[in-house]
């Protein structure tokens, strides 16, 4: 068995996105102890940088030491108690996964459904809130990675607040790519991933919790059915204060990488990053239209950084993706769940959201499809 | 906010241990998709290499995409159902954490206690099995990282089997450093960490499950109260078979690092690695004795790679560790739990288990203590 030397790909699927050499270099720096004062100082910087990315002053803003799915679970396992009614919006795979989480922790899921490939309809959320005045939480996906639909988080959060509900928001694919204002919109619990618009390696899940959310966690009637994800414990490790209580061993080098990618986001600026993602989306659109390739999501609900496109008739899903991978070292994504075999997903996220890469992707698609 | 450039330390605490440049270099290789055939091939190699490290043929042998604490939780959340009686041996911090896990998942913990700094007493486990014939699981820590005591896993597993109990074993600090034979000893569920004797970066938790353990998971009366850790789902992602079901996004680059560290373990050979750890332990012992520094754990129960030593009278714990860190860039570990302030923990694990590093550590200690 020998060392693994990966092929050099261009990653334009639903994540991971391409990683900038600065981030890869940061990750390879020598490991130090996870309680080393130098490391603790870096953790504090990560928290500050994440507050900027999330546009929040929430004290508990930090990366969970595991992938986005664990960030999702951290939100639900802490906030949902047995018997709690939770309104959950499903318009793709990840809304469905939220429902699974709610039920596993003994909650009752009130489902608000929208068609896959469309945004969550705020009026449906409002109807559900009215029909279930005892609901405690509204949960929804800001940017559905399975379809590329962007929902109106600001409006949905307002509705939830008007009905005294906490909000749990999936921002895995939106963070860094489109406008996201945790404090201004009044989001109570949010989770994201590092391998999308932050262009960091996969393996961490940035989260943020409002004081209102933490109050619910502190005053639970039952213990959190997880030791690893119990915020009451995690707060002692990532929380403010001089003395940090040992909880688990942080993934030191992956946190170096996240730090570097967040420094890069700060250097570029959030608005500039959003504008860059919007611009390459227009470039992609302008290139796909002459090929007769259409988008799944209506234009006004479309996420710039994750583009579900309809597989043109006469072409085989796996064969085309295989040719792109093998002949061009280009990865694009397959459809997920109900859209499997029907769509491709082109990700323009983080360091993959570059005009030169969009140009290459369009040219490769054109050759393979003979358009 | 600028890029983070960590100080260059020598890591001789309880982990992370020093990372070999080959492992750091592997981690910095370009990221590829987590469903890329090249990546899936590497995952298969990791499984094979882990089987070698654990000395097992268990099909479900893989790294959990999160630190050791999540590996622990993966074992307990899947195997303990509400009402299950679990015999748990506590002789340090991590046995206590096992008990926490059992109780959070609704199990009833039957505690077998041994003094901190000593091994688990097998006859006490036998007595507990006899007193609780309805117990379903025996859980214990092979190598207690908080004290450095090594327990007789072979004998304890035999007792558990004789009483029809499954076994859950914490091998966080033992894997790669001392003899560990999952199949021969009949261990049913085992978890480890990557940042100890494997000398890989922290963030992953290698686990292995016997068919008997998986049968219990498959036939649970209740759903696993975790989506991220549910083995019924994880098996579809890491399991055998042509088609891999998407579960979460694997921490691609950290897995590159684990692959490299396991290739290095295979190159060295398990027995040679064990012998190296044993040899540097003797070197440390021979150097500490003239300084009048004694060990916490009796010699016949002592783990070579994690050495708890008594802080000599007249010296301040934090001050000495601070001087070693600031003046020598040397990290040694503090005591944990009941041993905090009373002991130091010197780790000789993985790439830190080198004679030149032990020599340096002894020389630095000698200077700081004025011995």
Residue A331 is nearest to which of B33, B69, B262, comparing CB atoms?
B33
Give pLDDT, residue B242: 52
Question: Topology of B21-266 in CATH?
Answer: 3.40.640
**A73 CB within 8 Å of a chain B CB:** yes
Distance CA B318, CA B332 (A): 11
CA closest to B77 among chain A residues: A226
Q: What is the pLDDT of residues A35-61, one digit of tens each?
A: 999 999 999 999 999 999 999 999 999
Residue A237: exposure state from Cβ atoms within 10 A (0-12, 13-18, ≥19):
middle
**Where in the sequence of chain A do the CATH 3.90.1150.10 domains occur?**
10-16+270-369
CA closest to A24 among chain B residues: B28
Nearest residue to B141 via CA among B100, B184, B172, B176: B172
Pull the structure tokens for residue A5: 């030397």
SS3 letters across B157-226: HHHHHHCCCEEEEECCCCCCCCCCCHHHHCCCEEECCCCCCCCCCCCCEEEEECHHHHHHHHCCCCCCCC
Pull the structure tokens for residue A202: 């996969």
Distance CA B285, CA B282 (A): 5
| ipTM for the whole complex | 0.97
Q: Which residue has the tokens 């390459």?
A: A280
Find residue A331's DSSP bridge partners: A11
Give pLDDT, residue B240: 60
Measured over the CA atoms of residue A73, residue A74, residue A75 and residue A78, the dihedral's sign is positive
Supply the Cα-derived Rg of chain A in whole angstroms: 21
Count Cα atoms within 13 angstroms, Cβ side, for B299: 3
B362, B287 contact by CB (below 8 A):
yes
- What phi and psi, each to the nearest 5 degrees, are found at residue B331? -100, 125
Pull the structure tokens for residue A22: 């600065």
Supply the Cα-derived Rg of chain B in whole angstroms: 21
List the alpha helices (DSSP H) in chain A.
21-27, 37-54, 68-79, 93-104, 122-131, 153-162, 182-185, 211-218, 231-238, 252-268, 270-288, 317-328, 355-369
Distance CA A63, CA B76 (A): 24
CA closest to B203 among chain A residues: A251
| Disruptive mutation site among B66, B198, B268, B306 for chain A (greatest number of A CBs within 10 Å) | B66
Q: Which residues of chain A have pLDDT under 50?
A: none
- What phi and psi, each to the nearest 5 degrees, are found at residue A358? -65, -40
Name chain B contacts of A6, Cβ cutoff 8 Å: 29-32, 38-39, 42, 256
Residue A15 is nearest to which of B77, B249, B254, comparing CB atoms?
B249
Q: Which residue has the tokens 């922290």?
A: B202
Q: Which residue has the tokens 């989306």?
A: A281
**Where in the sequence of chain A do the CATH 3.40.640.10 domains occur?**
21-266
Dmax over CA atoms of chain B, in Å, equals 63
B91, B112 contact by CB (below 8 A):
no
Closest chain B C-alpha to A17 CA, distance in angstroms? 8
**A18 CB within 8 Å of a chain B CB:** yes
Cβ distance A16 to B31 less than 8 Å, yes or no, reads yes
Give me the architecture of the B10-16+269-369 domain, per CATH.
Alpha-Beta Complex (3.90)
**B27 CB within 8 Å of a chain A CB:** yes
CA distances from B171 to B48, B75, B145 (A): 18, 12, 10
B224: left (phi over 0), alpha (psi -120 to 50) or beta: beta
Name chain B contacts of A201, Cβ cutoff 8 Å: 31, 251-254
List the alpha helices (DSSP H) in B219-333.
231-238, 252-268, 270-288, 317-328
Closest chain A C-alpha to B40 CA, distance in angstroms? 11
Cβ distance A331 to B259 less than 8 Å, yes or no, reads no
**b/e map B269-293, b = 16+ CB within 10 Å:** ebeebbebbeebbebbbebbeeeeb
Name chain B contacts of A203, Cβ cutoff 8 Å: 65, 203, 251-254
B152: left (phi over 0), alpha (psi -120 to 50) or beta: beta
Neighbours of B99 (CB within 10 A): 19
Q: Which of residues 245-264 of A touch B (CB under 8 A)?
A: 246-254, 256-257, 259-260, 262-263
Distance CA B54, CA B61 (A): 9
CA closest to B23 among chain A residues: A28
**B63 CB within 8 Å of a chain A CB:** no
Residue A252 is nearest to which of B2, B201, B224, comparing CB atoms?
B201
Query: Does 3.40.50.10800 match the CATH number of domain A10-16+270-369?
Result: no
Q: Which residues of chain B have pLDDT under 50?
A: none
**A101 CB within 8 Å of a chain B CB:** yes
Q: What is the pLDDT of residues B134-182, one digit of tens each?
A: 999 999 999 999 999 999 999 999 999 999 999 999 999 999 999 999 9
Pull the structure tokens for residue A368: 């393979």
Percentages of chain A per state (helix, strand, coil), in multiples of 5: 45, 15, 40
CB pairs under 8 A between A and B: 257
Give pLDDT, residue A237: 83
Name chain B contacts of A39, Cβ cutoff 8 Å: 6
Distance CA B249, CA B252 (A): 8
Closest chain A C-alpha to B103 CA, distance in angstroms? 9
């Amino acid at each position: 068995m020998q060392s693994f030397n990966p092929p050099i790909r261009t990653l334009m699927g639903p994540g991971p996105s391409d990683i900038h050499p600065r981030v890869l270099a940061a990750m390879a720096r020598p490991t130090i102890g996870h309680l080393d004062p130098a490391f603790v100082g870096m953790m504090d910087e990560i928290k500050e940088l994440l507050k900027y990315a999330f546009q929040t002053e929430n004290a508990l803003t930090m990366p969970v030491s595991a992938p986005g799915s664990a960030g999702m679970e951290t939100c639900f396992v802490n906030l949902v108690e047995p018997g709690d009614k939770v309104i959950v919006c499903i318009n793709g795979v990840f809304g469905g996964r939220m429902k699974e989480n709610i039920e596993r922790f003994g909650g009752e899921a009130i489902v608000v459904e929208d068609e896959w490939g469309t945004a969550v309809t705020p009026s449906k959320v409002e109807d559900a809130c009215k029909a279930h005045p005892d609901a405690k939480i509204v949960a929804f996906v800001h940017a559905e990675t399975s379809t590329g639909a962007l929902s109106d988080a600001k409006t949905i959060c307002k509705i939830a607040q008007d009905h005294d509900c906490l909000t749990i928001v999936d921002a895995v694919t939106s963070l860094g790519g489109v406008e996201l204002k945790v404090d201004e919109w009044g989001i109570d619990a949010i989770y994201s991933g590092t391998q999308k618009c932050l262009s960091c390696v996969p393996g961490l899940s940035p989260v943020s919790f409002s004081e209102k959310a933490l109050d619910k966690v502190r005053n639970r009637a039952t213990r959190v059915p997880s030791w690893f994800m119990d915020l009451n414990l995690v707060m002692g490790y990532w929380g403010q204060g001089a003395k940090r209580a040992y909880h688990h061993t942080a993934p030191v080098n992956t946190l170096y990488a996240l730090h570097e990618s967040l420094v890069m986001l700060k250097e570029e600026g959030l608005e500039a990053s959003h504008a860059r993602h919007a611009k390459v989306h227009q470039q992609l659109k302008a290139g796909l239209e002459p090929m007769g390739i259409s988008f799944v999501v209506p234009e006004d609900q479309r996420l710039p950084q994750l583009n579900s496109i309809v597989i043109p008739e006469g072409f085989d899903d796996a064969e085309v993706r295989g040719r792109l991978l093998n002949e061009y070292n280009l990865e694009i994504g397959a459809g997920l769940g109900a859209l499997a075999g029907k769509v491709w997903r082109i990700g323009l996220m983080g360091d993959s959201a570059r005009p030169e890469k969009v140009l290459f992707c369009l040219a490769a698609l054109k050759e393979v499809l003979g358009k």
